[in-house]
């Protein structure tokens, strides 16, 4: 599964070679830049600084540049997640000389016309919509119109003192055409997040989800993700390893110290067989495995999955020999 940022860098070859497709001034510098308004991550908003697209120019050329970009991504990956999907419905434009993102404004994006324009390049390949942040009805309508899976994040379901029983991130509100995450690369690790919650929130987690100290929050959320009705669930390696915030990948709004975490030295995965077996058991229990199609495994690999599941946790019903399976929807 690939991950594509919606914007490109101002000094990139993309902008240099396709200047008419971006909002640039007479000096070939951005006339406005990308960002997001103030939110829970940053009181000043996030000033990304990327040049914005001239969507009228893209429309006139039939979205040829975008079709090539996505086409190349799909040569490398089976599926692609587009970061900041909401900008296709409406994007946040900040004056190029602004010091923070507070002075920005929302502008209507290309909408469904964009996805019709790139259809020939994408074909039937799945596009996952990163629909987090300020999500309005137009974003939901666009996602539904193109039948793209959205995202639900378990960490976003708790923490509010009052709580919101209608939160889309609570497991009982999940919908099938979605990907479930305990947390993304922008969040704290789940163990780190749990450590920073008050006792009221921890009690809610215990009552609602059976999260306790023995299982740990990281594996409790992995279990919830596996059990969700979401069509797929995605876990960070930091959560699989139950790391605290020393393993955090990225802190939005802070420029330094991000993307430095590494999984470990060569041979690391040989020492992670326990975690692999635990994932296999949960995947078997919640039927997140495929019995046919391109993701179906060789018989030996399938048998190993079932054997690991049997060792780690009892399964309600063992699969028949012809139903040996492989992980599906877990990245």
Indicate whether 323 pLDDT > 60. Answer: no
**What pLDDT was estimated at residue 330?**
39
Per residue in 189-213, pLDDT (tens digit) is 999 999 999 999 999 999 999 998 8
User: Does some domain include residue 272?
Assistant: no
Among candidate residues 83, 75, 91, the one with its CA nearest the CA of residue 36: 91
**136 and 35 within one domain:** yes
d(CA 53, CA 146): 21
**78 vs 180: which has the higher pLDDT:** 180
User: Does some domain include residue 103?
Assistant: yes
- Structural domain ending residue among the three candidates 97, 120, 145: 145
What are the backbone angles phi and psi of residue 315, rounded to the nearest 5°? -105, 140
| Mean pLDDT across 16-34 | 96
pLDDT band at 297 (very low <50, low <70, confident <90, very high): low
User: Does some domain include residue 113?
Assistant: yes
- Structural domain ending residue among the three candidates 253, 288, 323: 253
- Structural domain ending residue among the three candidates 120, 145, 170: 145
**208 and 305 within one domain:** no
**What pLDDT was estimated at residue 298?**
65
pTM: 0.76
**160 and 298 within one domain:** no
User: Does some domain include residue 269?
Assistant: no
**170 and 91 within one domain:** no
**171 and 124 within one domain:** no
**Percent above pLDDT 90 for the chain:** 57
**Two structure tokens written together for 139:** 């974003």
**102 and 242 within one domain:** no
**117 and 17 within one domain:** yes
pLDDT band at 293 (very low <50, low <70, confident <90, very high): low
Can you spell out the DSSP letters for 191-204?
HHHHHTS-HHHHHH
How many domains does the chain fold into? 3
**180 and 241 within one domain:** yes
**314 vs 52: which has the higher pLDDT:** 52
**What pLDDT was estimated at residue 119?**
83
- Where in the sequence numbering do the catalytic residues fall? 83, 130, 186
| Mean pLDDT across 177-184 | 94
**198 and 83 within one domain:** no
Q: CA angle, 22 as apex, 101 and 132 as ends, to 5°?
A: 45
**232 and 131 within one domain:** no
**105 and 76 within one domain:** yes
Per residue in 219-241, pLDDT (tens digit) is 999 999 999 999 999 999 999 99
Indicate whether 253 pLDDT > 80. Answer: no
**156 and 138 within one domain:** no
Among candidate residues 121, 125, 155, 34, the one with its CA nearest the CA of residue 86: 34
Domain that holds residue 163: 149-253
Per residue in 97-111, pLDDT (tens digit) is 999 999 999 999 999
User: Does some domain include residue 260?
Assistant: no
**What pLDDT was estimated at residue 133?**
66
d(CA 282, CA 88): 36
User: Does some domain include residue 259?
Assistant: no
Relative to beta strand 80-83, strand 127-129 is: parallel
């Amino acid at each position: 599964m690939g991950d594509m940022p919606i914007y490109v860098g101002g000094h990139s070859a993309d902008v240099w070679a396709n200047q008419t497709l971006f909002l640039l001034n007479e000096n070939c510098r951005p006339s406005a830049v990308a960002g997001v308004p103030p939110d829970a991550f940053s009181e000043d908003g996030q000033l990304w600084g990327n040049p914005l697209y001239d969507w009228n120019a893209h429309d006139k050329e039939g979205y040829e540049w975008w079709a090539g970009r996505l086409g190349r991504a799909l040569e490398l990956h089976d599926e692609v997640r587009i970061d900041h999907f909401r900008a296709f419905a409406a994007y946040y434009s900040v004056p190029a000389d602004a010091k923070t993102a507070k002075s920005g404004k929302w502008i209507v994006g290309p909408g469904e016309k964009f996805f019709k324009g790139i259809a020939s390049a994408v074909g039937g390949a799945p596009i996952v919509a990163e629909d987090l942040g300020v999500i309005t009805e137009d974003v939901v309508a666009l996602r539904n119109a193109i039948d793209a899976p959205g995202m639900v994040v378990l960490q976003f379901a708790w923490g509010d003192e009052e709580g919101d029983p209608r939160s889309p991130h609570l497991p009982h509100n999940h919908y099938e055409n979605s990907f479930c995450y305990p947390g993304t690369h922008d969040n704290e690790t789940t163990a780190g997040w749990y450590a920073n919650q008050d006792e009221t929130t921890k009690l809610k987690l215990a009552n609602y989800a059976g999260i306790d100290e023995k299982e740990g929050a990281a594996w409790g959320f992995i279990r919830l993700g596996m059990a969700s009705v979401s069509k797929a669930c995605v876990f960070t390696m930091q959560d699989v390893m139950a790391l605290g915030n020393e393993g955090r990948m990225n802190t939005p709004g802070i420029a330094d110290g991000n993307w430095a975490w590494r999984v470990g030295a060569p041979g690391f995965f040989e020492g992670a067989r326990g975690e692999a077996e635990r994932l296999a058991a949960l995947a078997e229990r919640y039927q997140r495995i495929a019995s046919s199609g391109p993701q179906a495994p060789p018989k030996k690999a399938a048998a190993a999955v079932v054997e690991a599941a049997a060792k780690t946790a009892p399964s309600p019903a063992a699969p028949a020999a012809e139903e040996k399976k492989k992980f599906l929807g877990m990245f």
